A and B are shown apart, each in its own frame.
Chain A
Amino acid sequence: DAGVIQSPRHEVTEMGQEVTLRCKPISGHDYLFWYRQTMMRGLELLIYFNNNVPIDDSGMPEDRFSAKMPNASFSTLKIQPSEPRDSAVYFCASSLEKRGNQPQHFGDGTRLSIL
């Protein structure tokens, strides 16, 4: 299996621009998670999906952030407009079955820098 695939690996853009991060989960995994990692706050859960449906988006910091999962093999996280404080590494992860009782499989992340 190819694992969780994220793109792009690095993104540098000017503030105010729209940023789109992409994720392909492991085939057959029912749960998909988006995390943000910073030195100050560690690994924060932003949102997770079950069977393509958003279940909990309470970690999404602001209305500037949105996430979609149009099908079982693809998800996006968008930031519009982007701000310098959004600079972080964003991880996507997927897991089997019921959340909380199975390990998560992480992608290699997208390092986002907003200038």
Chain B
Amino acid sequence: GENVEQHPSTLSVQEGDSAVIKCTYSDSASNYFPWYKQELGKGSQLIIDIRSNVGEKKDQRIAVTLNKTAKHFSLHITETQPEDSAVYFCAAQGDMRFGAGTRLTVKP
């Protein structure tokens, strides 16, 4: 089955700095990689996704990169704001497996 490893488990940055979260997966057949944001007391919400036919995708301050050869993908958040504070999950959704999550704290 699919294993998804996510690092780091916690990340604290100063407002305005960048944050990077990395995930690796094991199943080379995976072709869809979403990132979810979970705020306190809420369900996870999709913030960006990438499919295996592209290497990078950007949406304003959020970007995702994918390296299929190395089987890893990363979330990049630039110019972080306090409202970015949340738990972020990656997934290699071929088998509905999620990473363990990264708790991001953005200090004002």
Contact = CB atoms under 8 A, between A and B. Distances in A.
Interface of A: 4, 33, 42-43, 45, 48, 91, 93, 99-109
A42 B6 CA distance: 11
Contacts of A102: 32
Nearest to A4: B43
A101 B100 contact: no
B96 A33 contact: yes
Given A43-B101, A100-B32, A101-B32, A106 B96 contact: no
A93 to B, nearest CB: 7
A105 B43 CA distance: 8
Q: How large is the interface on B (under 10, 10 to 19, 20 to 34, 35 or more residues)?
A: 20 to 34
A103 B43 CA distance: 13
B98 A43 contact: yes
Given A42-B101, A43-B101, A101-B31, A107 B43 contact: yes
A100 B94 contact: yes
B98 A108 contact: no
Given A100-B95, A103-B34, A103-B49, A42 B43 contact: no
Interface in B52-108: 89, 93-101
B101 A45 contact: no
7 contacts: A43-B98, A48-B96, A93-B43, A99-B93, A101-B51, A103-B46, A104-B46
B41 to A, nearest CB: 7
Contact of A99 (B49, B96, B97): B96
B101 A106 contact: no
Contacts of B98: 42-43
Nearest to A9: B41
Contacts of A100: 30-32, 93-96
Contacts of A99: 93, 96
Contacts of B101: 42-43
A108 B32 contact: no
B89 A109 contact: no
Contacts of B93: 99-101, 104
